[in-house]
Structure 1
Amino acid sequence: MGISRLAELIREEAPDAVSSVQLEDYRGRVVAMDVSVAFYQFRTAMPKIFNRHGENISPLRGLFYRTMHLLENGVKPVFVFDGKPPDLKERVLAKRAAVSGAKRKAADPAAYEPPQRLPRRDSERLLGYLGVPCVQAPAEAEATCAALVKSGRAWCTATEDMDALPFGSSRLLRHLNTKNRDLEEISLPVVLQKLGLTQEQFVDLCILLGCDYCEKIRGLGPKKALPLLRQHGSIEQVLHSTCSAQKHPLPENWPLEETRRLFLHPEVAEPSQVVLEWREPDEEGLLQFLAHEKHMAECQVRSRLEKWRTACLKRAQPQSPGPVTKGSKKQRRMVEFFQVKKRPRKQIPKPGRKKMKTQEQPGTAVET
């Protein structure tokens, strides 16, 4: 889920923090991505494609196409795998899964399928053949993505969830999975400046809005939580000053301090120990794995590799200046770089005319 209604609040209260960008703007940039979020998108948004062994290969196919799209645009992706989820998240996720599964099973028992586990080994093999680095997070993948950004090892975190911001990622890239739509970059420093909050107060705001680690306080939505935190500075002061047990009761066993610690001091992979190396895709390995083992159409794999190869050749060619059209920049001439000054014309006396002596003026001293 991420942080409930945080994106909406940022657009309303800190619109300057949100920029519309293009994928080409990230050429040469390192983009950290959560593998589980990507697979969830492929599993829910793409139609199921079963191979001859009955395996649903649509998530693997989606990962292949998206990664190739990033590579052919000059982006350097690094995929981060989740580790052991925090105990707080396990309780919340189990509760949500039970409610969601019961609703779907009640709606259509024949069509209900239990959620599939992430095909970790297949995704690692695919990314290895693509020449893209992978990182194993000890806990939450987005926390390690944020740590890579904070350390300068990555430029931004690419995810739809807003958790990367309270984890401290200075840049969040959204809508990477949407075609024909501008990407959206959110700047955390600008968010904090426009909201008038410190990072610690921003984490408190995210807790009040609702996160994956604890339930929210009933009645304290975005319209109330932000001004109250601006006024009082912390959740404890907000509760002490304005809230009563009858009006805004706290959830039972509410783990405020533990949730704060998860956001402000998460368990992450040490950025300095992370090896980030990119290689050219292994075309033969990709064909063997995708076409022969996973039985994806070989013509599709070859066609996608050919498109990537063409894009690489195009980027390697020097760009020649095109014709000057209306609205385009005019090519500058040499005289615009070096200013040319005309020399003063030398006066040459005409022949046959004698130079007249100047007559001394009366009262002028003559030097002897």
Structure 2
Amino acid sequence: MGTAIKDIVSRENISLDQLNNQTLGFDAYNIIYQFLSSIRGQDGTPLKDSKGNVTSHLTGLFYRTINLVDRGVKPVFVFDGKPNELKAETIKKRTEIRTDAIQKHQDALEKGDLAEAKKFGSRALKLEPKMIDDAKELVSLMGFPVVQAPSDGEAQIVSMVVNKKLDGCVSQDYDALLFGVPLLYRNIGVTGKRKVPGKNIYADVEPEKIYLEKVLEENQITREKLIWIGILIGTDFNEKFPKIGVKTALKLVKENDSFEKIIEATGFKPDFDYKEVEAIFQNPKATDDYSLKFDLPDKEKVIDFLCGKHDFSTERVSNAVNKLHAKLDEKTKQSTLGQWS
């Protein structure tokens, strides 16, 4: 998911306490994928209730969000809408990867190889409509705004940040920078250590802050040229140019003042319209039909939803939601607006 521009993006490690009083737009699909991938059993199987419904994402959304609110974060969850037609090929490839992972996960389980099962289990996840509906219902019951984007959630968040409705974007994907978000936060929904892909070692995961302006200044490029880099190395909307990594792409955009000249320099003729891909990032599709009203959590409904419907521990959920309610009720009393802010 996203664009592989990591190696030319400078970032600053931060503590979660530095997010105090920040109203942040969470790329909901992205963070749900994180929870589905990371909150799993030893055999790679996601958490489920007694009816077989996946609950890993609900566990993450509930407890992790409460932790962030306790640090002073004001979360707004932005959900993807209809994917752009240019994403069809990307979606097809993800489906193929997932289908292969499902089979390999099953084979590993039959062999009793838990390490392999866990590896492929995290790749076999699929975000079902019911998971999205459950996620929207939970965060709404917790009192947080839900925004429905017309297309990409990141594009919607960019519009809201630019229009001073939000302070920043929370997503693992660097695509948000191509869309033009001034401030991107990463590793906010995950903590601890993460396995390095393809290696049996783990790396510390620390929250990161990335300023678009700093990325452009340090690389001496414009956002247009950052988008060109994305197109060269591949985005969700187009295939990458062959044998071109991010460093080569950076060199090409610096040496050429038009994408046509870059195409000539590479000798590769893409089978897609680069102008169409560029337009997606230059003109993010967004709506202003949303509310950013924050409410106190509906304690009874949260408990009924998580415990009554999805078999969560009543004692643990009650303690957590009471803690959340007390925290936000205190903020409400301090606010002259009658809602926590």
Which secondary structure does the structure 1 equivalent of 2:301 belong to?
A: helix
5 Å-filtered alignment, 1:186-201, equals 186-201=210-225
Instruction: Indicate the residue corresponding to 1:260 in structure 2.
Output: 278
| CA deviation string 1:169-188 (max 9, x = no partner) | 00000011232553100000
User: Pick from 183, 192, 202: which aligns with 2:207?
Assistant: 183
Which secondary structure does the structure 2 equivalent of 1:172 belong to?
A: strand
Instruction: Indicate the residue corresponding to 2:252 in structure 1.
Output: 228
Instruction: Indicate the residue corresponding to 1:364 in structure 2.
Output: none
| Partner amino acid, structure 1, of 2:206 | D
Instruction: Indicate the residue corresponding to 2:37 in structure 1.
Output: 44
Identical residues among aligned pairs (%): 28
Closer, same or farther in 2 for the Cα pair 1:28/1:183, shift >3 Å? same
Which secondary structure does the structure 1 equivalent of 2:176 belong to?
A: coil
Instruction: Indicate the residue corresponding to 1:98 in structure 2.
Output: 96
State the alpha-carbon separation in 2 of the partners of residues 236 and 143 from structure 1.
Answer: 26
State the alpha-carbon separation in 2 of the partners of residues 182 and 96 from structure 1.
Answer: 27
State the alpha-carbon separation in 2 of the partners of residues 117 and 41 from structure 1.
Answer: 15
Does the aligned pair in 2 maintain the 1:171–1:188 contact within 8 Å? yes
| CA deviation string 1:268-309 (max 9, x = no partner) | 123xx4321111111112112111122211011012124435
Choose 99-108 or 142-151, whichever is displaced more: 99-108
Instruction: Indicate the residue corresponding to 1:170 in structure 2.
Output: 182
5 Å-filtered alignment, 1:1-368, equals 1-4=1-4, 6-10=5-9, 15=10, 18-47=11-40, 48-102=46-100, 104-105=102-103, 108-109=106-107, 115-118=126-129, 119-180=131-192, 181-240=205-264, 242-244=265-267, 249-251=268-270, 253-270=271-288, 273-308=289-324
Deviation at 1:235, TM superposition (A): 2.1
Deviation at 1:67, TM superposition (A): 1.7
Stretches of structure 1 that go unaligned for 5 or more consecutive residues are: 319-368
State the alpha-carbon separation in 2 of the partners of residues 313 and 151 from structure 1.
Answer: 28
State the alpha-carbon separation in 1 of the partners of residues 125 and 187 from structure 2.
Answer: 27
Choose 208-217 or 105-114, whichever is displaced more: 105-114
Closer, same or farther in 2 for the Cα pair 1:127/1:258, shift >3 Å? same
Which secondary structure does the structure 2 equivalent of 1:49 belong to?
A: coil
Does the aligned pair in 2 maintain the 1:49–1:57 contact within 8 Å? yes
Which secondary structure does the structure 2 equivalent of 1:2 belong to?
A: coil
State the alpha-carbon separation in 1 of the partners of residues 182 and 214 from structure 2.
Answer: 9
Closer, same or farther in 2 for the Cα pair 1:114/1:45, shift >3 Å? closer
Instruction: Indicate the residue corresponding to 2:199 in structure 1.
Output: none
Does the aligned pair in 2 maintain the 1:82–1:137 contact within 8 Å? yes
Choose 19-28 or 303-312, whichever is displaced more: 303-312
| Partner amino acid, structure 1, of 2:248 | K
Deviation at 1:21, TM superposition (A): 1.6
Closer, same or farther in 2 for the Cα pair 1:262/1:316, shift >3 Å? closer
Which secondary structure does the structure 1 equivalent of 2:35 belong to?
A: helix
TM-score with structure 2 length normalisation? Answer: 0.82
State the alpha-carbon separation in 2 of the partners of residues 107 and 51 from structure 1.
Answer: 20
Total equivalences in the alignment = 303
Which secondary structure does the structure 2 equivalent of 1:83 belong to?
A: coil
| CA deviation string 1:4-46 (max 9, x = no partner) | 2x11222xxxx4xx22222222211110011111111111111
| RMSD across aligned positions (CA) | 2.4
Closer, same or farther in 2 for the Cα pair 1:138/1:310, shift >3 Å? closer
State the alpha-carbon separation in 2 of the partners of residues 58 and 141 from structure 1.
Answer: 21
Closer, same or farther in 2 for the Cα pair 1:275/1:106, shift >3 Å? closer
Which secondary structure does the structure 2 equivalent of 1:166 belong to?
A: helix
Closer, same or farther in 2 for the Cα pair 1:285/1:268, shift >3 Å? same
Does the aligned pair in 2 maintain the 1:33–1:158 contact within 8 Å? yes
Does the aligned pair in 2 maintain the 1:283–1:305 contact within 8 Å? yes
Does the aligned pair in 2 maintain the 1:78–1:135 contact within 8 Å? yes
Which secondary structure does the structure 1 equivalent of 2:60 belong to?
A: helix
Deviation at 1:81, TM superposition (A): 1.0
Stretches of structure 2 that go unaligned for 5 or more consecutive residues are: 41-45, 110-120, 193-204, 335-341
Which secondary structure does the structure 1 equivalent of 2:169 belong to?
A: strand
State the alpha-carbon separation in 2 of the partners of residues 147 and 56 from structure 1.
Answer: 32
Closer, same or farther in 2 for the Cα pair 1:156/1:116, shift >3 Å? closer
Does the aligned pair in 1 maintain the 2:26–2:75 contact within 8 Å? yes
State the alpha-carbon separation in 1 of the partners of residues 94 and 308 from structure 2.
Answer: 38
Closer, same or farther in 2 for the Cα pair 1:25/1:315, shift >3 Å? farther
| CA deviation string 1:191-211 (max 9, x = no partner) | 111111111111111111211
Larger radius of gyration: 1
Which secondary structure does the structure 1 equivalent of 2:179 belong to?
A: coil
TM-score with structure 1 length normalisation? Answer: 0.76
